[in-house]
């Protein structure tokens, strides 16, 4: 056999072996470190003693990576975190920090610290018993950060975290839904705090948490604001509003917090050298889907695809005994609290390549390439 042909084959094999494995546009994201609540939890709550779990059918029914089996994601398919990682070239989904598999070189793709029921405040979500609040999530990243030093060496690890990693934070909704807005006779903070004081405390805590991540070499941040929580099927059901109405107080609180969050990120961009904090305008993105759902091909933006109880199937979380809609792609909401994969796809696209109405001062593709 011709030696030049053999050489050509070897070159071809080596070339194929070095093709990037990212699934996006070829410019692979190094690592995705995901913090937050059930909107982006990839299974951490599976490893907790908690009342907030999604590792039961039919959750995950459209999640192809698991063959349609539940993974602990609070939706029928992929979360926004999954979708963003795919498009930005992350080779595999960021594994839950508490998973036994989240060790060794797997953490070079990133780690997911998010937890259903978790919030900015440590007391948030205590009605679920077990959950991981943002303070503990940052503690967990500190563990990962030391592991990266061991894998890459101190200098290369620092460069990897600072230049090739994105830190996404999707948190705050539970601080209202499962803290401040709980019945006054229960354990909600409304017993002792005005809305202004409560929002002040949220922003103060979040400032400390984000600054801690910065001190651990995080530089590229995307922070989601709180969505229109007064429009979720659960709130619509328990407050007995009509199909086209949302509950006023939760949305007012979300908007108050979101205004303060914007100011906080401006402050951090000015005061933390080398850091870029990007604001994901989740509130307006979800409200647009709800207000104009038919334009996006949805049949309903008020009723949960999977749930039980009331006009909007909004009382009992999704589980084996829940009623299930006939076409999951036609519902904005998967369950009483969380968007469907179809809604997540639309939101993720706007965050990845959208204009400053959706995400500012830059979108996620621009942040990755910064």
Residue 336 to residue 210: CA distance in whole angstroms? 30
Instruction: With beta carbons less than 8 A apart as the criterion, state whether 122 and 135 touch.
Output: yes
Whether the bond into 279 is cis, omega within 30 of 0? no
Q: Among candidates 323, 332, 287, which has minimal Cα distance to 75?
A: 332
How far is residue 118 from each of residues 122, 158, 242, 349, 363, measured CA to CA in Å? 8, 28, 29, 25, 26
Q: Which of 62, 335, 340, 358 is catalytic?
A: 335
Catalytic residue among 32, 52, 168, 338: 338
Rounded CA-CA distance 314/93 in Å is 30
Which DSSP string do the residues of 28-94 spell out, in sequence order?
A: ---EEEEEESTTT-SSGGGGS-BS----STTTTTT-GGGTT---S-SSSS--HHHHHHHHTT-SSPP
Helix, strand, coil shares of the chain, percent, nearest 5, are: 45, 10, 45
- Structural contact between residues 369 and 353, judged by C-beta atoms closer than 8 angstroms: no
Q: Which of 32, 38, 300, 340 is catalytic?
A: 38
Radius of gyration of the chain (CA): 21
Half-sphere exposure of 182 (CA within 13 A, CB side): 19
38 is catalytic: yes
Which H or E run includes 360?
A: strand 359-360
Structural element, H or E, at residue 148:
helix 134-152
Judge whether 335 counts as a catalytic residue.
yes
Annotation marks residue 338 as catalytic: yes
Sign of CA dihedral 37, 38, 42, 45: positive
> Distance between CA atoms of 192 and 208, rounded to whole angstroms?
23
Query: What amino acid positions are annotated as catalytic residues?
Result: 38, 335, 338
């Amino acid at each position: 056999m011709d030696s030049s042909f053999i050489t050509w084959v070897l070159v071809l094999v080596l070339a194929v072996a070095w093709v990037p494995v990212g699934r996006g546009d070829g410019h692979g994201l190094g690592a995705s470190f995901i913090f937050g609540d059930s909107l982006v939890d990839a299974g951490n709550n599976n490893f907790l003693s908690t009342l907030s779990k999604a590792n039961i059918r039919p959750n995950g029914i459209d999640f192809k990576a698991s063959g349609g089996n539940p993974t602990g994601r609070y939706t029928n398919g992929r979360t926004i975190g999954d979708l963003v990682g795919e498009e930005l070239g992350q080779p595999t989904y960021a594994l839950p920090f508490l998973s036994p598999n989240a060790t060794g070189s797997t953490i070079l793709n990133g780690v997911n610290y998010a937890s259903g029921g978790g919030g900015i405040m440590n007391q948030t979500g205590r009605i679920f018993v077990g959950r991981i609040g943002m303070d503990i999530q940052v503690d967990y990243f500190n563990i990962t950060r030391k592991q990266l030093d061991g894998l890459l060496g101190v200098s290369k690890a620092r460069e990897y975290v600072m230049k090739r990693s994105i830190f996404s934070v999707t948190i705050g909704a539970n601080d209202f839904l499962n803290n401040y807005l709980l019945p006054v006779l229960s354990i909600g903070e409304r017993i002792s705090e005005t809305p202004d004081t409560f929002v002040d405390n949220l922003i103060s805590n979040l400032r400390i948490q984000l600054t801690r991540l910065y001190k651990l070499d995080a530089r590229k941040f995307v922070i989601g604001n709180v969505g229109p929580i007064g429009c979720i099927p659960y709130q619509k059901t328990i407050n007995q509003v009509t199909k086209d109405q949302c509950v006023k107080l939760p949305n007012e609180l979300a908007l108050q917090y979101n205004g303060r969050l914007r100011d906080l990120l401006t402050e951090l961009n000015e005061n933390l050298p080398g850091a870029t904090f990007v604001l994901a305008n989740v509130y307006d993105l979800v409200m647009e889907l709800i207000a104009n759902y038919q334009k996006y091909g949805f049949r309903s933006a008020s009723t949960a695809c999977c749930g039980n109880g009331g006009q909007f199937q909004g009382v009992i979380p999704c589980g084996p005994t829940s009623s299930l809609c006939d076409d999951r792609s036609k519902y904005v909401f998967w369950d009483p609290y969380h968007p469907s994969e179809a809604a997540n796809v639309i939101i993720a696209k706007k965050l990845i390549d959208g204009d400053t109405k959706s995400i500012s001062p830059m979108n996620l593709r621009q942040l990755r390439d910064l």
